[in-house]
Amino acid sequence: MLGEDQLPVIRLHDLRHTHATLLLADGVPVKVVSERLGHASATLTLTVYQHVHPGMGREAADRFAALLEG
């Protein structure tokens, strides 16, 4: 969606969502992110803000392989 100036319309909630999603993707503990957002539980934070991004499956497989190799 573009505004009159042809720039994307960004709502405050969009910035909040990006903030939480990037923190979780970078490995910040969910409890910390949850508290920053003012959520009553980490479950809510994970339900709303935890997303699977391209490449995460490959990264998980690589990390698991490294654990097996010790």
Confidence of residue 34 (pLDDT cuts 50, 70, 90): very high
pTM, two decimal places: 0.68
What's residue 59's pLDDT? Answer: 86
Mean predicted confidence (pLDDT) in 1-23: 84
Give the single-character DSSP code of 2: B
What span, in angstroms and rounded, lies between the C-alpha atoms of 48 and 26? 16
**33 neighbors 20 (Cβ within 8 angstroms):** yes
What span, in angstroms and rounded, lies between the C-alpha atoms of 64 and 70? 10
User: What are the extents of the domains in the chain?
Assistant: 12-69
